[in-house]
């Protein structure tokens, strides 16, 4: 690992699954203590995830910090009170077309939609939905997109879950048949679909401007392909030890894996500026 330069950092952006959380979906006590130390000296610790708000705020409360959160990989940013700061979605009509395409052509793939605080599935007893519910503790609503999203409304994310081979094939099919989308795998069985204008790096830039903090004074942590743009946008970054080799090759620093307090190990290497905000 290359030691980061002696910059005084002022903000931290951290992915959740596979990064902050270990493989049992827990935050280590040492990591939590370090994050609270940073909070006390005025360093915002921003949770950045493809998750919906109800699956992020409980973790933030567990950490005992107050800061904005980035949901749906940048499609929705909420402030400390849960009020929207920025929202970028897929128009309802287009989201319905994508949902219909997946369900018509890829019958073994589960497709569900997220709109602000709602998680929408036409079968809440699908094994993939139940698995995701057990991980995130979010509760889906049963029905169609049109049942919950107003005609002029937007969907923040479509999530397709299935076997790795089907997800890989679906990725290519969506890229060939639809434009204006960000389509990526958050793991080999999960495909995230959002507006191409939504990104974790865009959320980083927006919050840096809001706080008046230069991007070079920020640090980020992530473990997968959907984190790369965020990792490359911040002043320094750490890929987790459990990240795929392709992700590790693109970043400067590789820390320990998520089962060995990789976030804590990275934070301990950095200097932080006290009370800059």
Residue 268, class by beta-carbon neighbours within 10 Å (0-12 exposed, 13-18 middle, 19+ buried)? exposed
Cβ-based neighbours of 251, under 8 Å, separated by 6 or more: 228, 231, 232, 237, 238, 239
Element (H, E) at 98: helix 92-105
Structure tokens at 98: 């994508």
Catalytic residues, by residue number, are 15
Distances (CA, A) of 146 to 54, 90, 140: 22, 13, 15
Residue 62, class by beta-carbon neighbours within 10 Å (0-12 exposed, 13-18 middle, 19+ buried)? exposed
């Amino acid at each position: 690992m290359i030691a980061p330069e002696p910059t005084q950092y002022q903000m931290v952006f951290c992915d959740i699954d596979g990064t902050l959380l270990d493989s049992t979906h827990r935050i280590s006590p040492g990591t939590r203590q370090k994050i609270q130390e940073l909070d006390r000296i005025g360093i915002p610790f921003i949770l950045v995830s493809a998750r919906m708000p109800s699956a992020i705020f409980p973790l933030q409360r567990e950490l005992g910090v107050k800061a904005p959160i980035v949901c749906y990989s940048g499609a929705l940013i909420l402030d400390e009170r849960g009020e929207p700061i920025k929202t970028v979605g897929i128009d309802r009509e287009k989201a319905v077309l994508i949902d219909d395409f997946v369900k018509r052509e890829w019958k073994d793939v589960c497709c569900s939609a997220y709109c602000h605080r709602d998680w929408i599935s036409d079968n809440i007893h699908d094994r993939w939905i139940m698995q995701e519910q057990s991980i995130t503790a979010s509760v889906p609503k049963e029905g169609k997109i049109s049942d919950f999203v107003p005609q002029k409304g937007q969907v923040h994310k479509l999530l397709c879950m299935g076997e790795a081979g089907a997800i890989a094939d679906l990725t290519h099919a969506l890229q060939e048949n639809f434009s204006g989308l960000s389509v990526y795998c958050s793991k080999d069985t999960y495909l995230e679909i959002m507006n191409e204008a939504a990104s974790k790096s865009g959320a980083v830039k927006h919050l840096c401007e809001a706080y008046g903090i230069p991007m070079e004074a920020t640090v980020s942590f992530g473990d997968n392909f959907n984190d790369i743009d965020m990792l490359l946008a911040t002043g320094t970054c750490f890929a987790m030890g459990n990240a795929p080799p392709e992700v590790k090759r693109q970043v400067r620093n590789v820390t320990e894996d998520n089962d060995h307090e990789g976030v804590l190990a990275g934070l301990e290497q950095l200097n932080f500026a006290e009370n800059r905000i």
